[in-house]
Amino acid sequence: MTGRVVWITGASSGIGRALALTLAKRGDRVAVSARSETGLQHLAEEAAGFAGSIHPYPLDITQPETCADTVDRIAGDLGDITLAVLNAGTHHPVEAHAFAASDFAKLININLIGTGNCLDPLLKRMIPAQKGHIAIVASVAGYRGLPTSAYYGASKAAQINLAESLKLDLYRYGIKLQLVNPGFVKTPLTDKNDFPMPFLMDVDEAAERMARGFDGRSFEITFPRRFAYLLKLLRLLPYRLYFPLVGRITRA
């Protein structure tokens, strides 16, 4: 499929940025959103000469009215959104002694509530039209609790549950919903980590995996697969085995 109207949030850096370039090269018209207007303008300039194009729409996803307005403006400028990739999010590593309710609420507001703020206007358009494609970008960190991921992991676990729940409803309306669960991908977010990251993937390869996954029929798109499948196996372990094992691994 080429020539789609694609909306990507969190597109000024990391996976979102790489995905925007990948899809524009394929011929898609890509609307990109993030808080950094300068970053979006540079991204649009980088796509000059591609088969497709990139169009900046600066946005703070914690503002629901602005999200609704952005969806309306994209539809008015480029046409109905064919594929929405809800990728915006942040990471704040924390240990128990530093846990703060204000920091927790801030991250949940961005990663989870921000996703809902984008879903609302998208579904209001797609359900009556009985067509559309939405991808929610969560993380393998949402599979099970991991050290220093109390804020981030909780938000990603909620996104996974959100996607699973909506999937059961949206198929009746002809809307394709997918869940993207990346492992460790080299981005500004993972650069914050001060621990070994197994199977660390290049961001351009991650973007290619996502683009191919959007063309397929699988509900979940996950990579690197070896790491994701390892975590899926850990999810099956009882707590009496899981906690000692993860404790030893993460202390190594």
What are the Cα distances from residue 159, in Å, to 85, 114, 116, 194? 13, 11, 9, 25
* Contact call for residues 88 and 33 (beta carbons, < 8 A): yes
What are the Cα distances from residue 195, in Å, to 4, 104, 148, 198? 39, 22, 11, 10
* Contact call for residues 245 and 237 (beta carbons, < 8 A): yes
Task: Let me know if 152 is a catalytic residue.
Answer: yes
Tally the residues of the chain: 252
* Contact call for residues 185 and 201 (beta carbons, < 8 A): yes
What are the Cα distances from residue 52, in Å, to 29, 46, 132, 236? 5, 12, 20, 43
Catalytic residue among 57, 143, 151, 152: 152
CA–CA distance, 23 with 229 (Å, rounded to integer): 27
Maximum separation of any 2 CA atoms in the chain, in Å:
56
Whole-number CA gyration radius for the chain: 18
Question: Which amino acids are annotated catalytic?
Answer: 152
